[in-house]
Amino acid sequence: MEPFVFFGGKGGVGKTTVSSSYAVKCAQAGHETLIVSTDPAHSVSDVFDQPFGDDARPVEGTEHLWAMQIDPDEEVTRHLDEIRQNLSEQVSAAMVGEINRQLEMAHGTPGAYEAALFDRFVDVMRSADRYDRVVFDTSPTGGTLRLLGLPDLLEQWVDRLMQKREVSIDLFEKAAVGNNDPRRVMEGDPVLARLQERKEFFEFAGRTLREDAAFFLVLNPDELSVNETERAIAELDDAELSVRGLVANKLTPEPDPDENGRGARYLRDRIATETERLDRVREEFAPPLVATIETRVSEIKGDLLTDVAAELDIETTVDPPTVTSN
């Protein structure tokens, strides 16, 4: 299977739990595996009972496994600082104050958050040579997926800017015959260079996600989660990314057959409802259901991760990446 594996789904369904279990499964199969987590609330640090940070660290007690925890807030700040730096090198001092005001406003928007995380994911994919497999415990959603259409847009933009600049440089050259400087100005134009760089970045992202990544969605057996999953499948489909499989988590466990008290009756009723929901998933959704995981009595960590890993019908074999960055 592809080297990059994403687990998506809404908050609380079990992305971190399932992706950690899958990462353990890959590591136990002997693949150098990195799990990348972005959720500060319940993250790989809780699952593995070990602090993780912005760079990959080995997971204690599990050979071949590494983990990294990206703080989205820090990522947004860093991302905006980078934009600020880039722009202030290119515009007049008078503009810098205005740009800073605009960036401060952009900081709070959900788009900034998603864009910054997306940039970071792509960076991780670009520099993942030392791992056989990278598991992401969040998958790109609507906003970020739309960024994948950006290369075409940027291409046209860069082309038009080039033409405009060529015309003005041509006029400039006619006025100053024999001077070759203007041509050099165009070739070294920092704005065009930056646009070109962004275009290549998104091109790499799009190709890597389409050719070297597999997407799984985690869901719970309730109506809300099933509907949300249907939307996510369509969204990914629109971006030409197909969902490889669905993981149903937090299923109600069955009581023993001879139990008939109130608790047992409640469990059976719940199971009947959940079965209906999952039947709909099996019949109407294109991606196959690759695991059904019961709710455990406690949080899933330690040996429980290996138990859950065994329930995932997702292969661990790794095909090397087909896309290279440059």
Ligand X SMILES: Nc1ncnc2c1ncn2[C@@H]1O[C@H](COP(=O)(O)OP(=O)(O)O)[C@@H](O)[C@H]1O
Residues that bind ligand X (CB under 6 A): 9, 11-17, 39, 42, 249-250, 293, 295-296, 299-300
Query: H or E element: which one contains 35?
Result: strand 33-37
CA distances from 181 to 161, 169, 192, 194, 268 (A): 19, 10, 17, 21, 81
Least distance (Å) between residue 194 CB and ligand X: 35
Instruction: Give the angle subtended at the CA of 15 by the CAs of 12 and 16, to the nearest 5°.
Output: 95
**Nearer of residues 72 and 255 to Mg ion, judged by Cβ:** 72
The binder of 9, among ligand X, Mg ion, none, by C-beta within 5 to 8 A per type, is ligand X
Query: H or E element: which one contains 82?
Result: helix 72-88
- If one asks whether residue 132 binds Mg ion (CB under 5 A), the answer comes out as no
Least distance (Å) between residue 300 CB and ligand X: 5
Least distance (Å) between residue 215 CB and Mg ion: 16
Euclidean distance between the first and the last CA atom of the chain, given in angstroms as a whole number: 23
Least distance (Å) between residue 18 CB and ligand X: 7
| Contact criterion met (CB below 8 Å) for 254 and 270 | no
Of 16, 21, 69, 208, the one binding Mg ion (CB under 5 A) is 16
Instruction: Point out which span in 25-33, 37-45, 192-200, 228-236 binds Mg ion (CB under 5 A).
Output: 37-45
The binder of 208, among ligand X, Mg ion, none, by C-beta within 5 to 8 A per type, is none
| Contact criterion met (CB below 8 Å) for 138 and 7 | yes
**Nearer of residues 120 and 199 to ligand X, judged by Cβ:** 120
Q: Which of 291, 215, 206, 282 is nearest to 248 (CA)?
A: 291
The binder of 17, among ligand X, Mg ion, none, by C-beta within 5 to 8 A per type, is ligand X
Instruction: Give the angle subtended at the CA of 220 by the CAs of 311 and 232, to the nearest 5°.
Output: 105
Phi and psi at 307, nearest 5°, equal -60, -50
Least distance (Å) between residue 122 CB and ligand X: 21
Q: How far apart are CA 59 and CA 132, in angstroms?
A: 16
The binder of 21, among Mg ion, ligand X, none, by C-beta within 5 to 8 A per type, is none
Q: How far apart are CA 227 and CA 92, in angstroms?
A: 50
Least distance (Å) between residue 315 CB and ligand X: 21
The binder of 168, among Mg ion, ligand X, none, by C-beta within 5 to 8 A per type, is none
Size of the site for Mg ion (CB under 5 A): 3
Least distance (Å) between residue 124 CB and Mg ion: 17
Which residues, other chains included, contact 92 with Cβ-Cβ below 8 Å and sequence gap of 6+?
A: none
- Find the farthest-apart pair of alpha carbons in the chain and give their distance in angstroms, rounded: 98
Instruction: Point out which span in 35-43, 182-190, 282-290, 293-301 binds Mg ion (CB under 5 A).
Output: 35-43
**Nearer of residues 138 and 208 to ligand X, judged by Cβ:** 138
Of 2, 39, 75, 203, the one binding Mg ion (CB under 5 A) is 39
Residues of this chain that interact with Mg ion (CB under 5 A) are: 15-16, 39
